[in-house]
Amino acid sequence: GKGHSHWNYEDLKRWSTDYSDCGGTKQSPIDVDTAQAIFSPDLRPIQLSGYSLPATKQLKLKNNGHTVVLDLPESLALTGGYAQQYRAAQLHLHWGSPSGPGSEHTVNGRRFAAEIHVVHYNTKYDSFTEAMVRPDGLAVLAAFLEVGHGENQYYHEILEHLLEIQEVGQETLVPGFNIAGLLPANLKFYFHYNGSLTTPPCYQTVKWTIFNQTLLLSHHQMSILVSTLRSPDDKLLQNNYRPVQNLHGRRVLASFQ
Ligand SMILES: NS(=O)(=O)c1c(F)c(F)c(SCCc2ccc(C(=O)O)cc2)c(F)c1NC1CCCCCCC1
Ligand SMILES: [Zn+2]
């Protein structure tokens, strides 16, 4: 959107001068110290509804200069796992470069190759823009991507279009597919904490869910992800992750032991 786009990942100190929430005490991402996570048996399995889209449904895929964003129809809903209902807005990715990983969250200090974020907003608010500024307004599902042996057919649906949107601002249409395939099969085991958008304006309005099971992409797929899109300074768009932020006493919950 307007105004969001003049920041970059090089000069992070500027974020909190330009956007006050970026200097807050409930910022994301964080390092998940699994030994400190609190087992909470009341954390129910996450349930997705309406995530399987027909190929006739065209979805907009855009290079916004900071990541690749797939706009999602509001028909995708998050039901289990959260006390209220959330609807999907968009999904995007964070990645590194050929020389290093680029997930935003880390687990016991380990950074994964990449990370997907599926952004939802609370349906009790009339719009995403209104929900974005409310403490219970946003829910983001996060999962880590690693390099494995086989080709991932679901990520192929997005990665095969990156060449069409190499330049900042370019967008293309992607036929619908089962968006749930971009997330782990096991939605029971996850970490949960209250945090923020990891980009300006850094609003502290996100209930984060980080799945324990990771996704596997082929080596070739990961190299497409980290070496295709260009950034506003026309260099390759790489390492689009924010450093981990201080917990400031926040507790991370775990749905499993
Ligand atoms: N991890 S995250 O969820 O905080 C996140 C990032 F880390 C992100 F880096 C991004 S992309 C940067 C923000 C942005 C810039 C331009 C445009 C546009 O031209 O359409 C749109 C957005 C990005 F879009 C998001 N998610 C957005 C947060 C930005 C404002 C609200 C839009 C939905 C969620
Ligand atoms: Zn993100």
The secondary structure of residue 229, as a DSSP letter, is -
Distance CA 117, CA 125 (A): 21
ipTM: 0.97
Beta bridge partner(s), residue 175: 58
Active site residue 66: yes
What pLDDT does 3 receive?
53
Separation of CA 44 and ligand 2 centre (Å): 23
For the stretch 240-243, contacts whose Cβ atoms lie closer than 8 Å and that sit 24 or more positions apart, written own/partner, are 240/9, 240/66, 240/67, 240/94, 240/95, 240/102, 241/9, 241/29, 241/94, 241/95, 241/96, 241/102, 241/103, 241/104, 241/115, 241/198, 242/9, 242/12, 242/28, 242/29, 242/104, 242/198, 242/199, 243/12
Q: Which residues line ligand 1 (CB under 6 A)?
A: 1, 4-5, 64, 66-67, 69, 89-90, 92, 117, 119, 132, 140, 197-199
Report the distance separating Cα 150 and Cα 53, nearest Å. 24
pLDDT at 2: 42
Catalytic residue among 66, 92, 105, 192: 66
Q: Tell which atom from ligand 1 comes closest to the C-alpha of 89.
A: 33
Identify the pLDDT of residue 79.
87
Ion ligand 2: protein residues whose beta carbon lies under 5 Å: 117
Of all ligands present, the nearest one to the C-alpha of 116 is 2
Residue stretches of the chain with pLDDT short of 70: 1-5
